[in-house]
Amino acid sequence: MSEELLTKRRYKDGDNDHLPWQDEIFTADKSYKCPTYIHRAPPCQGSCPAGEDIRGWLNIVRGVEKPPEGLIWQEYAFERVTESNPFPSIMGRVCPAPCEDGCNRNEVEDHVGINSVEQYIGDYALEHKLKLPEAGPDTGKKIAIIGSGVAGLTVAYGLRKLGHAVTIFESQAKLGGMARYGIPDYRIPRNVLDGEIQRVVDMGVEVRTKTKIGVDITIEQLREEYDVTYVGIGAQAGSSLPIPGGDAPNVISGVRFLEAYNQGRLLHSAKKVLVIGGGDTAMDVAAVARRIGHIDKVREHDHPENVIMGHTEHDVATAAGRQGADVTVVYRRPVANMPATKMELTHVTQEGVEIAHSLAPVEVIIGEDGRAKALKVIEADWSTGKCELKEGTEREIECDLIVPAIGQKGDLTGFEEFDNGWGQIDADPFYRVKGFDDIFVGGDAIKPHLLTTAIGHGSIAVAGIDNFLKGEEPDVRPKVDVHHFSLLAKLNETSLAPTEYDHISGMGTDSADYAIHNYEDRSKVEIAPADELYLGHWEYEERNVREESTIKADNVLGFFGERIQGLAEDIVVKEADRCMSCGMCFECNNCVIYCPQDAIFTVPKSKATMGRYVDTDYSKCIGCHICEDVCPSGYIKMGLGA
């Protein structure tokens, strides 16, 4: 770790000039600016597509924010997580964690292991059978939800909390959408998936499986019967391979491949498998192909394409003779530009998958039996930043199965009027389908992305649907559109709510009970930047990393256990304690200790709660700015005083 990151200095060489006078306003050693406590959103939350109050539940885990009487911290943390995300056990496993990329702790040594803490909270909740909140009082309104992926389930969860009746229509036999049929079971164990889905259903959600809208029921019928329709059909159609021979029978999309595997129909694939693409779907296909291997004596009905397309099924007897498969991922760009997460790329490489990068597919070579027998590729040079094909470098890679994982789109059969021409559905900022006030949409149906993104879509759609049902126009979405910590809600929870304004007490609020003194909430418009935190407060502390199973190329065949093992409780608390609580006081006492005038003091315990730990005596404050300089979380800003 570089010394530059670990410096304890607040200022750097050359920081000799004063700030603009409007910021400083110094006369000798005094100014008319005194500390104001500014709540801002942390960058982890700003980077989270689901908008989780990450800082909030990390502070609960580490013991800074105390649970109400009668709750243990695990239950309180679960309540906080599920305000925005009802699937913490799933997301703690599979989310690629853009929150960790945004974490300000990266400026010290390494990000906080947010996913590992979330997984612990989710697993604890499943083990101890914690429930989601009870449904709200019945409003008499009914909503139809098409599709049971995490977007649709998040909408069902949010609407039930508000008291609206919900019916989910799912074309498959089980709920879960892409979480069940697009992600392998060793990444999301099925007991975890089933448990977190069942909690939502237990809130009083009606479920109708094996019901395809557009075939069994039209969307027009739904609109007649329900007050609102939500479309969460995902993007479960894979893009075809747009080269000569790309329509060969054993060229099968990654989406269809994974669906057949997750339905339990595909028990083995082929001896030589080529996966085209560089995203996480490509990595999942490659990893599954290595696990299920191939069989030597292949009869016609055993060909993987026949099973994937639903013409036949594999039986357990043939699977008993599985042998390893040679799996190669072909990607047109360099490895450094692959969109797959670094962890997934590392895993498949360890498991024996070969990565053939900077190769552009040119043609599928067809054998005498009409099936693909090889893929012709050409080397691609990206040294100039653009793709330049190198003439004379064409070669053929032998194969028995080609699985392109190069994009997804929705199956809009029955939804043709919503198709924007790209197999997707356009929506406004409130996730209403354009031109239809009573139809909302979210998740991969808008644009394929993360499960976390679909959860975020669902939360915003819930607010829009509720407004529509009330006959109100949607509220303007905030600049930082996440689930914010509310000091007022916390004060109510701890029986410290402000009194009513009495119109008599005068202008000052520093001692009044009807106002929150010295506090400003900017969390909806500002994110706490690293350069406004006192990073010197933090000691070097190595991240507590989850252990990974030692799956290698020689033991991956038939291995379907989890790759990553969750952290123990004591390690989870230790990891959460690395959080810098950006934009919110975490009660470190630096400002109290270093104030030369003893102007900053801790709030009496009877009046203190999260976000109201310290206060300022303006009669003592000289505006020296030291409290701001030593605040590790960037919670203090200097504002005009008395």
Taking the CB of residue 9, how many other CB atoms lie within 10 A of it? 9
Q: Domain limits at 424?
A: 142-236+410-469
Q: Could you tell me if residue 289 is inside a domain?
A: yes
Residues near 248 by beta carbon (within 8 Å), at least 6 away in sequence: 364, 366, 370, 371, 372, 402
Q: CA distances (Å), 620 to each of 12, 28, 201, 601, in order?
A: 30, 17, 57, 11
Say which residue the tokens 């959600």 belong to: 205
- pTM, to two decimals: 0.91
CB 549 within 8 A of CB 562: yes
502 has pLDDT over 80: no
Q: Could you tell me if residue 135 is inside a domain?
A: no
| Structure token digits, residue 290 | 């290595």
Name the DSSP letter for residue 546: P
- What pLDDT does residue 351 have? 96
Q: pLDDT tens across 47-72, in order? A: 999 999 999 999 999 999 999 999 99
Q: pLDDT tens across 175-187, in order? A: 999 999 999 999 9
Taking the CB of residue 421, how many other CB atoms lie within 10 A of it? 6
Helix (H/G/I), strand (E/B), else coil: 510: coil
- What pLDDT does residue 506 have? 54
Q: pLDDT tens across 370-402, in order? A: 999 999 999 999 999 999 999 999 999 999 999
- Residues 50 and 456: their CA atoms lie apart, in Å, by 4
| Structure token digits, residue 402 | 């080609």
- What pLDDT does residue 1 have? 46
- What pLDDT does residue 163 have? 98
- Residues 578 and 422: their CA atoms lie apart, in Å, by 44
User: What percent of the chain is predicted at pLDDT more than 70?
Assistant: 92
Helix (H/G/I), strand (E/B), else coil: 237: strand
Do residues 577 and 636 both lie within one domain? Answer: yes
Give the residue-averaged pLDDT of 230-250.
92
Half-sphere exposure of 598 (CA within 13 A, CB side): 0
Q: pLDDT tens across 136-149, in order? A: 999 999 999 999 99
28 has pLDDT over 80: no
- Residues 347 and 88: their CA atoms lie apart, in Å, by 23
Residue 34: pLDDT band (50, 70, 90) is: confident
Residue 514: pLDDT band (50, 70, 90) is: low
The last residue of a domain, from among 389, 406, 423? 406
Do residues 118 and 154 both lie within one domain? Answer: no
Do residues 256 and 344 both lie within one domain? Answer: yes
Q: Could you tell me if residue 7 is inside a domain?
A: no
Do residues 459 and 521 both lie within one domain? Answer: no
196 has pLDDT over 90: yes
Residue 4: pLDDT band (50, 70, 90) is: low
Do residues 148 and 51 both lie within one domain? Answer: no
Do residues 374 and 455 both lie within one domain? Answer: no
Do residues 261 and 388 both lie within one domain? Answer: yes
CB 592 within 8 A of CB 70: no
Closest CA relative to residue 118, chosen from 167, 50, 208, 67: 50
Half-sphere exposure of 534 (CA within 13 A, CB side): 20
Phi, then psi, of 256 in degrees rounded to 5: -70, -40
11 has pLDDT over 70: no
- What pLDDT does residue 179 have? 96
Taking the CB of residue 593, how many other CB atoms lie within 10 A of it? 10
What CATH code is carried by the domain that includes residue 323?
Answer: 3.50.50.60
- What pLDDT does residue 348 have? 95
Residue 580: pLDDT band (50, 70, 90) is: very high
- Residues 209 and 174: their CA atoms lie apart, in Å, by 7
- Residues 98 and 380: their CA atoms lie apart, in Å, by 30
CB 18 within 8 A of CB 625: no
Q: Which residues pair with 207 in a beta bridge?
A: 168
- Residues 20 and 17: their CA atoms lie apart, in Å, by 9
CB 444 within 8 A of CB 431: no
Closest CA relative to residue 451, chosen from 80, 181, 174: 181
- What pLDDT does residue 25 have? 60
Phi, then psi, of 579 in degrees rounded to 5: -60, 135
Largest CA distance in the chain: 94
- Residues 71 and 400: their CA atoms lie apart, in Å, by 57
Do residues 195 and 168 both lie within one domain? Answer: yes
Do residues 527 and 574 both lie within one domain? Answer: yes
The last residue of a domain, from among 406, 441, 459? 406
Do residues 296 and 418 both lie within one domain? Answer: no
Q: Could you tell me if residue 150 is inside a domain?
A: yes
Taking 3-state DSSP, the helix, strand and coil percentages for the chain, each rounded to the nearest 5, stand at: 30, 15, 55
User: What percent of the chain is predicted at pLDDT more than 90?
Assistant: 77
- What pLDDT does residue 642 have? 44
Give the residue-averaged pLDDT of 342-368.
95
Higher pLDDT, 453 or 1: 453
- What pLDDT does residue 452 have? 96
CB 357 within 8 A of CB 406: no
CB 202 within 8 A of CB 132: yes
Q: Could you tell me if residue 160 is inside a domain?
A: yes
Rounded to 5 degrees, what angle do the CA atoms 234, 429, 204 make? Answer: 55
Do residues 117 and 190 both lie within one domain? Answer: no
Structural domain count, the chain = 3
Q: pLDDT tens across 70-112, in order? A: 999 999 999 999 999 999 999 999 999 999 999 999 999 999 9
- What pLDDT does residue 27 have? 56
Helix (H/G/I), strand (E/B), else coil: 636: strand
Higher pLDDT, 245 or 641: 245
Rounded to 5 degrees, what angle do the CA atoms 598, 600, 605 make? Answer: 115
- What pLDDT does residue 306 have? 87
The last residue of a domain, from among 406, 436, 460? 406
Residue 30: pLDDT band (50, 70, 90) is: low
- What pLDDT does residue 507 have? 57
Rounded to 5 degrees, what angle do the CA atoms 466, 469, 475 make? Answer: 50
What average pLDDT does the structure give for the chain?
Answer: 91
309 has pLDDT over 90: no
- What pLDDT does residue 271 have? 95
- Residues 571 and 439: their CA atoms lie apart, in Å, by 45
Q: CA distances (Å), 528 to each of 38, 40, 104, 111, 390, in order?
A: 10, 6, 9, 15, 47
Give the residue-averaged pLDDT of 485-508.
78
Q: Could you tell me if residue 474 is inside a domain?
A: no
Can you give the three-state secondary structure of 446-477, one letter per residue? CCCCCHHHHHHHHHHHHHHHHHHHCCCCCCCC
Residue 311: pLDDT band (50, 70, 90) is: confident
Can you give the three-state secondary structure of 50-61, one letter per residue? CCCCHHHHHHHH
Helix (H/G/I), strand (E/B), else coil: 115: helix
- What pLDDT does residue 300 have? 77
- What pLDDT does residue 26 have? 55
Strand 372-381 relative to strand 359-366, pairing? antiparallel
Do residues 292 and 340 both lie within one domain? Answer: yes
Q: Could you tell me if residue 1 is inside a domain?
A: no
Name the DSSP letter for residue 240: P
Give the residue-averaged pLDDT of 172-198.
96
Q: Could you tell me if residue 458 is inside a domain?
A: yes
